[in-house]
Amino acid sequence: MPAFIEAIDLHKTYRVGKIDVPALRGISFAIQKGEFVTVVGPSGSGKSTLFYMLGGLTRADSGKVILDGDDFAALSDAERTNMRKRKIGFVFQKFNLLPTLDARSNIAIAQEISGTNGRDPAFFARICDLLGLTKRLNHRPNELSGGEQQRVALARALVNQPAIVLADEPTGNLDTENSNIVLKMLRQSNQELGQTVLMITHNPEAAAYGDRIIHMRDGRIVKPEDDPQWSVH
91-145, pLDDT tens digit by residue?
Answer: 988 888 999 999 999 999 888 877 665 567 888 898 898 888 999 999 999 999 9
State the Cα angle at 147 between 134 and 201, rounded to 5°: 125
- Please tell me the predicted confidence (pLDDT) of residue 75: 87
Q: Does the pLDDT value for residue 230 go beyond 60?
A: no
- What are the tens digits of pLDDT across the range 61-85? 999 999 988 888 888 888 888 888 8
Q: What is the DSSP string of 62-78?
A: EEEEEETTEEGGGS-HH
Cα distance between residue 168 and residue 224, in whole Å: 20
The answer on pLDDT for 148 being more than 70 is yes
pLDDT digits (tens, 9 = 90+) for 2-27: 789 999 999 999 988 889 999 999 99
Strands (E), the chain: 5-16, 19-31, 36-40, 62-67, 70-71, 88-91, 164-168, 196-201, 212-217, 220-222
pLDDT score at 133: 92
**Three-state secondary structure call for residue 196:** strand
Contact of 215 with 27, CB cutoff 8 Å: no
Can you give the pLDDT at residue 118?
A: 53
Tell me what pLDDT residue 5 has: 93
pLDDT at position 232: 42
Q: Please give the residue that has the higher pLDDT: either 86 or 29.
A: 29
Q: In order of start, what are the domains of the chain with their CATH numbers?
A: 33-58+85-231 (3.40.50.300)
> Smallest Cα–Cα separation from 82: which of 110, 104, 114?
114
Q: What is the rounded average pLDDT of the residues 33-60?
A: 91
| C-beta of residue 138 within 8 angstroms of C-beta of residue 107 | no
Mean pLDDT across the stretch 191-199?
89
What's the mean per-residue pLDDT of the chain?
Answer: 88
Q: What angle do CA 130, 134, 136 make, to 5 degrees?
A: 125
Is the pLDDT reported for residue 227 higher than 70? no
| Number of C-beta neighbours around residue 232 at 10 A | 7
